[in-house]
Homo-oligomer: A and B are copies of this chain.
Amino acid sequence: MMIVMRADATQEDVQSVLACVEELGLTPHISQGVERTVIGVVGDSRNVHLDQVLRQPGVDRIVPITRPYKLASREFNALDSVFQVGGIAVGAGNVIIIAGPCAVEDRFQLLETAHAVRQAGAHLLRGGAFKPRTSPYAFQGMGEEGLELLAEARQATGMPIVTEVMEPEKVQLVSQYADVLQIGARNMQNYALLHAAGASQRPVLLKRGMSATVEELLMAAEYILSHDNRRVILCERGIRTFETATRNTTDINAIPVLKAQTHLPVFLDPSHSTGYWEYVSAIALAGIAAGADGLMVEVHVHPQRALSDGMQSLKPERFAHLVSQIAALCSALGRRMAPPEQIPTPPSERLEWST
């Protein structure tokens, strides 16, 4: 880090900072400008209490030089991370599509949607059993019953399951059913949950908080990685800005920025990042064009009957069209979608689920 002194700092102030830096076990390095003195600090300052330096008299501000995350950084791992999720390689340049309903609502809705998205070309099935809702009066999810339906859908379609976990003490339960633990935007800095998800050694899909910077997202990933759990997928899902024409503002820039700064796979959720199904396909394509490793798309067989987020859910036909467009776009840009063969064959005969 560099310590920038005020223009009116005295020699005494500078000496005091030098002493403080040395006391912290680091090596200071003076750079004398015309107007100001800057003190470079050599050594690993990640664990250092910067505040101790910041409050020294004469200090204007501190400029970090190294990034605060380590395990998540490209410098730590120059090559893209690749790992298996229920038999499917994520991050290998394979474009992966996660699809399914916002919430598990009932057996029929889930199984019908699961078959439809698998048919259309999706690789993983999403569906929420525990739902974070702004209002305590809104539908909060089916809970464990929902998890059982998800397991049934995996059985029926072969698709690995992605589902959200909202509390540390539910990590074990959800892990019994889910192939990928999803940590939602509201919980991106729920550190107890990040620790528990890290310790579970399950793959984790970590959504960016709606006001989190890219750096904070990487720091949250660092919590999981610090448990030596390397299977972390980052997911941009829109940030909060002044614009109200859409539910959130898709930070499409975050895709190439993340690809430059981290080796972890980067996904986009165009459903939450727009909030309106009319815009989902355009933004899904934009995400892939920008370099995303995958998408997470809400699909519902009957969006107008959805208990949540129906407004942003695609119908299966439209989703199928989107998948074919993504495949064409991948070819045009020299990339490819993960081949359907990667999806495991259903371990059992197709269950009877039709109404």
Interface residues, chain A, CB within 8 Å of chain B? 2, 4, 7-8, 29, 31-36, 38, 40-44, 46-47, 49, 51-52, 54-56, 63, 65-66, 68-69, 75, 132-139, 166-169, 186-187, 189-192, 209-211, 213-216, 219, 222-223, 226, 239-246, 249-257, 259-260, 273-274, 278-279, 282-283, 285-291, 303-311, 325, 328-329, 331-333
Assembly of this chain: how many copies? 4
Q: Contact check, B242 vs A136: say whether CB atoms are below 8 A apart.
A: no
Which of A55, A56, A273: most chain B CB closer than 10 A?
A55
Q: Contact check, A282 vs B290: say whether CB atoms are below 8 A apart.
A: yes
Question: Which single member of B36, B47, B192, B255 contacts A137 (CB below 8 Å)?
Answer: B47
Q: How far does the alpha carbon of A29 sit from the alpha carbon of B29 in the complex, in Å?
A: 11
Q: Which residue of B lies closest to A281 (CB)?
A: B256
B residues near A63, Cβ cutoff 8 Å: 2, 63
Q: How far does the alpha carbon of A29 sit from the alpha carbon of B52 in the complex, in Å?
A: 26
Q: Which residue of B lies closest to A133 (CB)?
A: B191
Q: Which residue of B lies closest to A33 (CB)?
A: B42
B residues near A214, Cβ cutoff 8 Å: 243, 245
Q: List 15 A-B contacts (CB under 8 A).
A: A35-B75, A38-B65, A51-B303, A167-B168, A187-B190, A211-B242, A215-B245, A239-B243, A241-B249, A245-B257, A249-B249, A250-B251, A253-B279, A253-B283, A286-B287
**Given contacts A49-B308, A186-B189, A285-B290, A249 and B239 within 8 Å (CB-CB):** yes
Q: How far does the alpha carbon of A249 sit from the alpha carbon of B249 in the complex, in Å?
A: 9
B residues near A34, Cβ cutoff 8 Å: 42-44
Q: How far does the alpha carbon of A252 sit from the alpha carbon of B249 in the complex, in Å?
A: 8
Determine how close the nearest CB of chain B comes to the CB of A129; give it in whole angstroms. Answer: 14
Determine how close the nearest CB of chain B comes to the CB of A44; give it in whole angstroms. Answer: 7
Determine how close the nearest CB of chain B comes to the CB of A208; give it in whole angstroms. Answer: 10
B residues near A215, Cβ cutoff 8 Å: 245
**Given contacts A2-B38, A260-B278, A289-B285, A222 and B136 within 8 Å (CB-CB):** yes
Q: Which residue of B lies closest to A225 (CB)?
A: B136
Q: Contact check, B51 vs A311: say whether CB atoms are below 8 A apart.
A: yes
Determine how close the nearest CB of chain B comes to the CB of A57; give it in whole angstroms. Answer: 9
Q: How far does the alpha carbon of A8 sit from the alpha carbon of B260 in the complex, in Å?
A: 14
Q: Which residue of B lies closest to A169 (CB)?
A: B169
Name 18 extra pairs, CB < 8 A, besides A2-B2, A214-B243, A249-B249.
A2-B38, A7-B75, A33-B41, A33-B42, A35-B66, A51-B304, A51-B309, A55-B306, A166-B190, A168-B169, A211-B211, A214-B245, A241-B249, A244-B244, A252-B283, A253-B274, A256-B279, A289-B289
Q: How far does the alpha carbon of A133 sit from the alpha carbon of B50 in the complex, in Å?
A: 14
Q: Contact check, B7 vs A51: say whether CB atoms are below 8 A apart.
A: no
Q: Contact check, B255 vs A282: say whether CB atoms are below 8 A apart.
A: yes
Q: How far does the alpha carbon of A51 sit from the alpha carbon of B291 in the complex, in Å?
A: 27
**Given contacts A244-B244, A253-B246, A286 and B290 within 8 Å (CB-CB):** yes
Determine how close the nearest CB of chain B comes to the CB of A299; give it in whole angstroms. Answer: 13
Question: Which single member of B213, B259, B287, B328 contacts A333 (CB below 8 Å)?
Answer: B328
